[in-house]
Amino acid sequence: MIGIERTTLTSIPSLIVADEAKKQEALPVLTYFHGFTSAKEHNLPLAYLLASKGYRVILPDSMYHGERETEITDMQKQVSFWNIVMQNVEDLKNIKEALVEKGLLQDERFGVAGTSMGGITTAAALTQYSWIRAAGVLMGSPKITTYAKTLVDSFRKEGDLPVSDNMIEQLYEQLKQYDLSKQMSKLNERPVMFWHGDSDAVVPFDHSYTFYDEARHHYTNPESIRFIKEPNRGHKVSRHAILETVKWFEEHL
């Protein structure tokens, strides 16, 4: 039977989904990050499917989301988008360390994936942690500096931004260290899957596709990097994407 445990991992509210009979055993682990304005519970269907295959799945709440929600305005949350992504990357390290300390990670088999903001987090985490074994980026952008500039331009068209130009330039500089498109060597031929709907109006499809098209030349094994394009699909993960994600980690984690 698959169980869902609500817990806190180093102050991060999380759900742990795993076979009840093996919940005290070391298992391969996938941490899955939700999207902007979503929460950990929204990814339970995928977590259930992976847990059924023998994985321990960690679903954390991101800063200002779910159980970490605080009294801030929508604009404050929007402006905090990149701080949330960077905090997610830090949270990932803390989650991994907590699992290792508890003896719950099998043979360093640790993967990460996510939806939208969670996919962006996944790509950013690949620049920081060589111990990530496999990854899945679902409708996220690996070109985070470019995407940040796109978002800033969009906000400027809607009205004044509540931050200075100097602060924005500092953000761009800060994001460069997390920008996978500027550090492709850090992929180190690790298995990475991309899924993106070609009608996505929120996160540009071409960000992930053009990245993949360049990154695949850095792989000696073409089966270690994959791009799944879903025609006429907007900014919503399909069942096909969920099933392909499960299959990907079965093969590579």
SS (H, E, C) 94-153: HHHHHHHHCCCEEEEEEEEEEECHHHHHHHHHHCCCCCCCEEEEECCCCCHHHHHHHHHH
What is the fold, at CATH topology level, of the domain defined by 2-252? Answer: Rossmann fold (3.40.50)
Structure tokens at 35: 């999207």
| Amino acid identity at 206 | D
pLDDT in tens, the chain (253 residues): 999 999 999 999 999 999 999 999 999 999 999 999 999 999 999 999 999 999 999 999 999 999 999 988 887 888 899 999 999 999 999 999 999 999 999 999 999 999 999 999 999 999 999 999 999 999 999 999 999 998 888 777 776 677 788 888 999 999 999 999 999 999 999 999 999 999 999 999 999 999 999 999 999 999 999 999 999 999 999 999 999 999 999 999 9
For residue 22, the tally of other CB atoms under 10 A from its CB is: 14
Sign of the CA dihedral 32, 207, 132, 81?
negative
**pLDDT for res 98:** 97
Give the list of residues 6+ apart from residue 51 with CB closer than 8 angstroms, or none.
2, 17, 18, 19, 57
**pLDDT for res 78:** 85
- As separate numbers, helices (DSSP H) first and strands (DSSP E) second, the chain gives 8, 8
Give the list of residues 6+ apart from residue 221 with CB closer than 8 angstroms, or none.
189
Closest-CA residue to 204 (of 124, 125, 116, 113): 116
Closest-CA residue to 85 (of 36, 15, 135, 46): 36
pTM of the model: 0.96
**pLDDT for res 167:** 86
Quote the CA–CA distance of 228 and 253 in Å, as a whole number. Answer: 19
**pLDDT for res 160:** 66
The whole-angstrom distance between residue 3's C-alpha and the CA centroid of its chain comes to 23
| Amino acid identity at 113 | A
**pLDDT for res 97:** 97
Q: Which residue is it, tokens 């540009």? A: 204
**pLDDT for res 211:** 98
